[in-house]
């Protein structure tokens, strides 16, 4: 039985020896077999869901302190999706974990039955980011728990209020030998990576993702990476698109979390034939949704640190002569308004890096040359998301089926990651692995193939001798069985 009594938090800093002890305790707990039964996992997921609901207000307050999120945005983007995710796991876990039964084939006669068991990796490390600190911690932890693993969490030091709330939360709900949170800066993260884990799940930037992968390689630890994409996510608006609809959706998404979203639109390419009216629609959409001076609106989220604000402001100043909307901010509150920069060339530096802020470069292109634009996009690092706005479904479907990216939408933004039963993933510089629902369960389990042998009627087909008449007979049988 789990001890669910409220735990007094240890305020001492995490050292190498302390982290080693935590991992060792989790390994002992895992090897005891407690986490393996499905009934037990389901009980823990129910406990997790109830605790999230009970701590909803604390999480909302933490998100407000870290990111300036309103109550509605905090629930929409962090808390609500966790409950949906856990509900999907509770409904599907027994089915997902059921061993697969396979016919072994005549080559294996008389052993005709082979099973594939979905086994947990063991002790997992979940490294979560600052931009959605509640969702991208608890959501991944839930997948690890569903798979039957124990979990060590290293959450972001940038979202300090959320990290503090999460540490208190997990200490109250689960014992540290099952789930525990470690806080601290990059030095503590490296102390965690120095330990031998059985699975690592990291969400964050490609630069840090490379470091995580390199450290994991020292122990040959399997890794899942959810990254933002080194050259950012493209949105393409063709001349036949519904401009008002596209502008409304793009504005909503760029406002969300002040652009600090791994699948957000990094730059929008617009057919030059409709670029001017599109920009006017986009301006109207921003004003309608967040006001003419978003930085003064308390509902508008803020950038995570003054450092992030300064980086955003410096880049905006570099393109000051091309800012057609926004370009203002308040450093004291770290709020920088949604900012349109137009026109921007497809090869300029601002569209060859992940921005992670409210700046939105607008790249004009001739609609007849859209395929050349898509070739340029394909030549760059794979994005985590891609968005197309057009009435030409034949073209859109062809692009979506030939480009390399994590996921995306046609005539919509971001909601593909909210669909139940589908994976959320990246490829190349936007990540590896996948999760959400059953895909998260798969990410935190590995398939073990077990053939059940027989002690009678075993053929000597595989045994020597291979020459002479016996060999010829065996060859005939082998060819027959392999058909």
Q: Spell out where 208-354 has E strands.
A: 223-227, 234-237, 267-271, 323-325, 329-330, 335-336, 339-341
Q: Does residue 278 contact residue 243 with C-beta atoms inside 8 Å?
A: yes
DSSP 357: S
Q: Which residues pair with 234 in a beta bridge?
A: 267, 386
Selecting among 56, 177, 226, 230, the annotated active-site residue is: 226
Element (H, E) at 20: helix 16-31
Name the one residue in this structure whose structure tokens are 């470069």: 361
Q: Cα dist. 177→28, 277, 431 in Å?
A: 8, 58, 29
C-alpha to C-alpha distance for 131 and 109, rounded to whole angstroms: 55
DSSP 121: -
Alpha helices for 306-402 (secondary structure H): 306-318, 370-379, 393-402
Q: Is 226 a catalytic residue?
A: yes
Backbone angles phi, psi at 98, to 5 degrees: -65, 130
Selecting among 108, 192, 235, 262, the annotated active-site residue is: 262
C-alpha to C-alpha distance for 294 and 291, rounded to whole angstroms: 5
Name the one residue in this structure whose structure tokens are 């031998």: 196
Biggest CA pair distance of the chain: 90
Q: Kindly state the tokens that stand for 432.
A: 């590896």
Q: Is 281 a catalytic residue?
A: no
Report the catalytic residues: 226, 262
């Amino acid at each position: 039985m789990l001890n669910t009594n409220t735990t007094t938090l240890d305020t001492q800093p995490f050292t190498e020896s302390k982290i080693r002890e935590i991992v060792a305790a989790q390994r002992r707990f895992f090897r005891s077999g407690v986490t393996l039964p499905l009934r037990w996992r389901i009980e823990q997921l129910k406990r997790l869901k109830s605790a999230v609901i009970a701590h909803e207000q604390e999480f909302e307050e933490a998100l407000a302190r870290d990111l300036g999120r309103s109550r509605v945005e905090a629930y929409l983007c962090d808390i609500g999706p966790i409950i949906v995710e856990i509900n999907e796991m509770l409904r599907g876990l027994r089915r997902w974990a059921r061993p697969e039964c396979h016919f072994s084939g005549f080559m294996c006669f008389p052993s005709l039955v082979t099973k594939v068991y979905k086994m947990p990796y063991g002790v997992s490390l979940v490294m979560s980011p600052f931009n959605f600190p509640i969702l991208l911690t608890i959501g991944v932890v839930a997948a690890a728990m569903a798979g039957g693993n124990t979990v060590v969490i290293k959450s972001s030091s940038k979202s300090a209020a959320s990290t503090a709330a999460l540490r208190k939360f997990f200490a109250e709900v689960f014992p540290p030998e099952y789930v525990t949170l470690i806080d601290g800066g990059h030095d503590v993260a490296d102390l965690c990576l120095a330990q031998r884990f059985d699975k690592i799940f990291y969400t964050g930037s490609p630069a840090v993702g490379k470091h995580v992968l390199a450290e994991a390689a020292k122990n040959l630890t399997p890794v899942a990476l959810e990254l933002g994409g080194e050259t950012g996510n493209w949105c393409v608006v063709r001349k036949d698109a519904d401009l008002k609809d596209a502008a409304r959706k793009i504005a909503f998404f760029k406002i969300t979390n002040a652009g600090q979203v791994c699948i957000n639109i990094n730059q929008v390419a617009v057919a030059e034939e409709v670029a001017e009216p599109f920009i006017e629609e986009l301006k109207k959409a921003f004003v309608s949704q967040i006001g003419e001076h978003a930085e003064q609106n308390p509902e508008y989220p803020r950038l995570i640190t003054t450092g992030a604000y300064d980086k955003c402001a410096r880049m905006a100043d570099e393109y000051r002569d091309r800012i057609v909307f926004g370009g203002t901010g308040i450093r004291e509150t770290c709020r920088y308004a949604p900012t349109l920069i137009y026109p921007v060339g497809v090869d300029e530096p601002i569209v060859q890096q992940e921005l992670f802020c409210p700046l939105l470069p607008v790249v004009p292109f001739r609609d007849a040359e859209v395929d050349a634009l898509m070739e340029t996009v394909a030549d760059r690092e794979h994005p985590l998301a891609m968005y197309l706005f057009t009435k030409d479904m034949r073209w859109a479907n062809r692009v979506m089926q030939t480009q390399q990216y994590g996921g995306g939408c046609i005539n919509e933004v971001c909601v593909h990651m909210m669909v139940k039963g589908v994976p959320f993933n990246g490829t190349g510089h936007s990540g590896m692995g996948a999760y959400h629902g059953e895909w998260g369960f798969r990410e935190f389990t590995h398939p073990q193939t077990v053939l059940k042998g027989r002690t009678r009627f075993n053929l000597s087909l595989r045994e020597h001798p291979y020459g002479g008449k016996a060999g010829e007979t065996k060859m005939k049988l082998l060819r027959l069985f392999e058909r």
